[in-house]
Structure 1
Amino acid sequence: MAGFRIYGAGAVLLGAVCLIFRDFALQWQPVPRGWAGREAIALLSAAGFVATGLAIQARRLRGIAAAALAAMFGLWIVLHTRAVMDAPADFGAWNGVAESLALALAGAALWLPTAGARSAGGLAVRAFGLCPLVFGTAHFAYADFTASMVPAWIPPDQHFWAYATGVCHLAAGLAIISGVWARLASRLLGMMFAGFVLLLHVPRILADPNSQLEWTMTAVALCLTGAAWSVADQIAARAPSATSFAFRFGGKAAKPNG
């Protein structure tokens, strides 16, 4: 599964939304209103997301595009630090950091192996698992708000899904960090994010197609979908071969049939 393609598509959509509305990505990119040349910088940032999101689709440009996306999403983390410092007990502030960190780490995990830093890429994958832990905790800390995002027609009820998805986030994070069923956990995490896109965000866009907030939420959720699947792809690429497994445990690798 080419998770990087969805990751890049999300970046293209995010940049396109920012270009259309001539603004940064709202609370995900909290740039103060008083900045000199704010609109010009917002448009430059938006164009950067479109360009790198397209470039990551090309094999020869994939590594450098992933590095650029990691750096651009990394800047979002810096922007969120003020909110965290002002209210360190506010999980909403930490959730903003975690979303930005997840997107930055996905890019880093894709880029680092191409730069000859395979071990660092593995650390980026493990660090990615910290982010769902924050997402899950936020689901419990803000259960009423989370439930309000769930379409009322989905049984059994909105609060059930607020807590259930919180548990799934926590389980995925622990699996990725520990390395136990990490690939499966990343795949399922991406499926859950994809479900958010299709069941939560797309209907909200259809109901309010002129809303920058709805389009931005959809773009971020699509980026997170691709980020989780890209991490799963990196875990699969790092899986030991039968020979290396046997060597590490002192056995003999089985010969392939034929």
Structure 2
Amino acid sequence: MTFSKGIPTKRPRIHMKVPPVWGTRKVGLLLLSGGLALFAMVSALNQTFWQPVPDDLPHRLLWVNLASAVGFGGAVGLQFRVMRKPSAMLVAALYFLFSLSFLPRVLNFPQLIGAWLGFAEHLAITAGLLYLLISWTGNIAWRVAARLVYVPLAVVFGLAHLLSLPETAAMVPTWVPGSGQFWAVFTGLAHLAVAFGLLTPRFALMACRGGATMYLLFAIFVWVPNLTATPLKAFDWSCLAISVALAGALWTLGDLQRETA
């Protein structure tokens, strides 16, 4: 508080400026829509590799193609202002159904972290699309809730790394300094750090930006090199798409926290 001619006045609040590239919504939107479009194309071109729905589902291939078309069309629609809201709602509903398809695995094998991973990944993408919808409204309460929703998902991602060390370590390229096990533990703890950071508004933006950057590093240093060696492997293409989409979801969440700070 300062005084002007003996009258107390409030000192103007100083806001820390964030570099434009860290605050623009276009980054999260492009990453999220790009990852969704790629995942839809992978699903359409590799119809035997799809969500864990029963193989005897009537007209299964038809549903695969329909879901791929909806996913790709929705991802493209996110780039057009007039189509953004309906596209986000449509694809969010689709990925929520995808996440539900993992529930039988979760219920039958709750002790296996791998059963939770697919459920959490698709739910996180659903959340990312909802974050886009929330960002187009002025409801601060929803924006605060959005931060807390991602916390248990980040915990699942962290535990998936820590409880599956051999599998995670095997994904680390041999040219990266340090052992694969070190990076498996480090990235697992980094996921947990994202979860803890999201618990407090003070560290939420840092957690979102750091987590999104980590997802992109997974894409660049793990999945892209794998695809150069085996370019027709559907699993690696889908993991690349999921990593990019998750980066977009977390980046969008960071924009929400920046706007509510």
Under a length normalisation based on structure 1, what TM-score does the superposition of the two structures give? Answer: 0.87
Correspondence for 1:61:
83
Matching of residue 12 in structure 1 with residue 4 in structure 2:
no
Computing the radius of gyration from Cα coordinates, the structure with the larger value is 2
Shifted more, 111-120 versus 184-193: the winner is 111-120
Of residues 174-183 and 41-50 in structure 1, the stretch that sits farther from structure 2 once superposed is 174-183
Aligned counterpart for 1:230 among listed residues 229, 252, 257: 252
Q: Matches of residues 5-84 of structure 1 in structure 2 within 5 Å?
A: 5-23=30-48, 25=50, 29-84=51-106
Structure 2: gaps spanning 5 or more residues: 1-23
Give the 3 Å change call, closer, same or farther, for CA 69–115 of structure 1 in structure 2.
Answer: farther
Specify the alignment match of 1:208 in structure 2: 230
Call closer, same or farther: CA 1:72–1:115 in 2, change over 3 Å.
farther
**Is contact 1:4–1:230 with CA below 8 Å preserved after alignment?**
yes
Structure 1: gaps of 5 or more residues: 240-258
Percent identity, aligned pairs only, is: 29
For residues 260 and 155 of structure 2, the distance between their equivalents in structure 1, rounded to whole angstroms, comes to 23
What residue number does 2:8 align with? none
Q: What's the CA shift for 1:203?
A: 0.8
Call closer, same or farther: CA 1:67–1:24 in 2, change over 3 Å: farther
The aligned residue for residue 191 of structure 1 is 213
Does the Cα contact within 8 Å between 1:109 and 1:231 map onto a contact in 2?
A: yes
Cα displacement (A) at 1:195: 0.3
Runs of 4+ in 1 over 6 A off after TM superposition: none
Q: Deviations over 1:83-135 (max 9, x none)?
A: 01101111111112211111111111211353665523431232012211111
Over the residues paired in the alignment, what is the CA RMSD in angstroms? 1.6
Give me the TM-score of the superposition, normalised by structure 2. 0.86
What amino acid does structure 1 have at the position aligned with 2:60?
R
Equivalences, count:
236
2:173 corresponding residue in structure 1: 151
One-letter identity of the residue aligned with 1:9: G
